[in-house]
Amino acid sequence: MKKSPIFSGPLLAALLLVCPFAAADEAGTQLDEVVVTATRTAQTQDQTLAAMTVITREDIDKLQPASLLDLLATTPSMAMSNSGGPGKASSLFLRGTSGSQLLVLVDGVRIGTVSAGTIGIPYIPLDQVQRIEIVRGPFSSLYGSGAIGGVVQIFLRHDPGSFSPNASVAAGSHATYKGAAGFSAAGEQGWISVQGSREKTDGINACRVGAATAFAGCFADQPDKDGFDDSALTLNGAWRFNERWSVDGLAFRSEGSSEFDGDYSDSNRYSVQVVGGHLRYRPSERVNVSLRAGSSTDFDTSFLAGAMRGHFDNRRDLGSLQGDFSLGAGLLTLGYDWERQWLGSDVGFDQTTRLNRGLFGQWQMNLGKQSLQANLRRDDNSQFGGKTTGSVLWGWDFAPGLRVVANYGTAFRAPTFNDLYYPGYANPLLRPENSRNAQLGLRGTTDWGNWSLEAWHNDVRDLIAFDAVTYTPANIGHARIRGIEAVVGSNWFGWDVRASATLMHARDAAHDSPSYGKQLARRPERSAQFDADRKFGDFGVGASWHVAGRRYDDFGNTHPLGGYGLLNLRAGWQFNPDWRLDLALNNALDKHYETAWYFNQPGRNLMLTLNWRPAH
């Protein structure tokens, strides 16, 4: 087949060859910034042995992405599929793994439906987000089921300072309107933050005409605009009682409605809610104990022409107890996780609850120029029994500014309620999906910045797929994913420049499969991202170029999705110490492309935003 012209060999070579020259870590972050997701303990990013990206609130304000989904899709080795614009069904693919093999946390609380394993990323407004940590690689040995491709942790918004109010209003293409307002207040012993937002858009026609004839996409021809309406509120805070005891809490809710195309349902009303609390006890410098409890819920009701068609109520109740103990040159972590999953629906599931318990341990140690992290976890699930996973991560600073890292880990994903109990489409004997992942990387830090180059090999077995003989799900799949990613960035002649590129070979490796040797669906095997931003006094300008290679919508590789390149332009004007005006032109070249067969994506669109944040 003819390769996509927008991802030619010279372009890829240029992006990979920039590694020795450029600088800065991923997404323009500071290497001394404290991160927690890769080890469940606080450490600076330069200490982290896993490949990771950190996105701060400053990055979000500078890049002006259209949504959280669009922002995540431009991070290294990440791809996405979307079914027709804002608020529509979407999925993220990290390092070639599926959307259900990615674990997502909101301030430490796991989110996602227990019915189908989907994650409500489109329902988390960017105005509610403070920072994001993305860890690439297997992390079931710390977090349990689902972390085959990696972990994304979203921290909800709060600003430092004694009193920090903020507000913004925005208007753009497709009759899109956004508004947000909130404040943070802090004292000597604690802080509190409140943030609210509202978004409404007429949207685009989600599914292109011809889907009914082609029996594809939404399987219906409904040439109309499909809108989206969302309201969200975050309340969080923390309090330090004394040197030993502290507590923090979170409450987040997003609710609204979305229209789409289809002959079974054409709209839905939803709500996503996260509640959590975290109690810390630090009796000495060498001991830290924490207790966390929370819940996440996803409610969805579907309609056709205003008449209700069905509903799914998903809930996770979670708790964890963790102790961190400094022992000589190392840090020992021991913990216990508990999760209860519950499903309510008008569909008659055979089972509606299940329980998972997990015990985990971790050892971190620095010996001169070498670092070690070892994890081991045992999960016990009331449905499928026990599962043990582990990982070892090693790093060696073999020369000034140069580090080699090597990682090996196992991970798994438990089958969903739909897989196990959906009437007429279920197999209660399903086993978890399993993976074995090896990684090798090289990272460099110089006066002009940082760069990294990493290769991985991931074998995923017992994939859950539809068995055409029994007409039920079965453990019949085997996927083999190999890849290499390069991440670079620098401040070059006053420009903050960042780039990443990924080459990937993701294939069906089951010899008895009719799609043996075929490319895994919806994963581009070549992708790249380039960002450049610069300030000129009170003005700032920037551009992003996102490239994704050819992919297929199905495992048989009969429905190709063409490669594409998207150019986004942005500008900002700080016309007053308290006021800033931002302008974003997304898909500036008006590229027509699809990330899911027969589902449209927005063409050229504009967004103008007025921000108010008093200077301190």
Residue-by-residue DSSP string for 239-306: EE-SSSEEEEEEEEEEEEEEE---SS--EEEEEEEEEEEEEEEEEETTEEEEEEEEEEEEEEEEEETT
What pLDDT, on a 0 to 100 scale, did the predictor assign at position 599? 97
Does residue 2 have a pLDDT over 70? no
pLDDT-wise least confident of 120-124, 223-227, 427-431: 427-431
Residue carrying the six token digits 């502290």: 246
What is the average per-residue pLDDT within 11-28? 40
The mean pLDDT value for 353-381 works out to 97
Q: Is the pLDDT of residue 25 over 90?
A: no
At residue 442, φ and ψ (nearest 5 deg) are: -135, 130
Q: Name the helix (H) or strand (E) containing 103.
A: strand 102-106
- Inside any domain, residue 175: no
pLDDT (mean) for 328-353: 96
Q: Is 190 buried (19+), middle (13-18) or exposed (0-12) by CB count in 10 A?
A: middle
Q: Is residue 164 part of a domain?
A: no
pLDDT above 70 (res 18): no
The mean pLDDT of 131-160, rounded to a whole number, is 95
pLDDT digits (tens, 9 = 90+) for 54-107: 999 999 999 999 999 999 999 999 999 999 999 999 999 999 999 999 999 999
Q: Check residue 23 and give its pLDDT.
A: 33
The residues facing 24 across adjacent strands are none
pLDDT for the residue 32: 72
C-alpha pair distances (Å), 404 with each of 28, 46, 50, 139: 21, 12, 11, 20
Which stretch of 175-179, 186-190, 312-316 has the lowest confidence by average pLDDT?
Answer: 186-190
Question: Predicted confidence band at 435 (pLDDT cuts at 50, 70, 90)?
Answer: very high
Domain span holding position 196: 5-159+184-612
For 85, 208, 256, 309, the CA distances from 305, given in Å and listed in that order, are 20, 19, 17, 10
In sequence order, which residues have a C-beta less than 8 Å from that of residue 167 and are 6 or more positions away?
A: 180, 181, 182, 611, 612, 613
Q: With pLDDT > 70 as the criterion, what percentage of the chain qualifies?
A: 95
Give the pLDDT of residue 1.
39
Return the pLDDT at 31.
64
> Phi and psi (nearest 5°) for 338?
-135, 135
CB 368 within 8 A of CB 357: no
In a domain, 173, yes or no: no
Kindly indicate the confidence band of residue 329, based on its pLDDT and cuts at 50, 70 and 90.
Answer: confident
Q: Determine phi and psi for 31, rounding to 5 degrees.
A: -75, -20
Between CA 218 and CA 227, with CA 222 as vertex, the angle to 5 degrees is 85
CA distance readout (Å), 6 to 77, 488, 549: 18, 21, 8
170 lies in a domain? Answer: no
Q: Give 282 or 12, the one with higher predicted confidence.
A: 282
3-class SS at 63?
helix
Find where tokens 């489109």 sit: 122
Instruction: Determine the average pLDDT of the residues in 514-526.
Output: 94
Residue 559 phi, psi (nearest 5): -120, 90
The token pair that represents 481 in the structure block: 């994913």
**pLDDT surpasses 80 at 262:** yes
Phi, psi of 61 (to 5 degrees): -65, -35
For residue 28, pLDDT beyond 90? no
The enclosing domain of 481 has a CATH number of: 2.40.170.20
Split into its structural domains, the chain has a count of 1
pLDDT score at 30: 59
Per-residue pLDDT band at 17 (split at 50, 70, 90): very low
For residue 282, pLDDT beyond 60: yes
Percentage of the chain lying above the pLDDT 90 cut = 86
pLDDT at 171 over 60: yes
Closest CA to 223 of 84, 362, 53, 408: 84
pLDDT of residue 3: 42
Is residue 142 scored above 90 in pLDDT?
A: yes
Q: What average pLDDT does range 542-555 have in this prediction?
A: 96
Phi, psi of 63 (to 5 degrees): -75, -25
Which of the residue ranges 270-274, 444-448, 577-581 would you say has the lowest mean pLDDT? 444-448
Per-residue pLDDT, 159: 79
The average pLDDT across 26-39 equals: 73
- The overall average pLDDT reported for the chain is 93
Confidence check: pLDDT of 208 > 70: yes
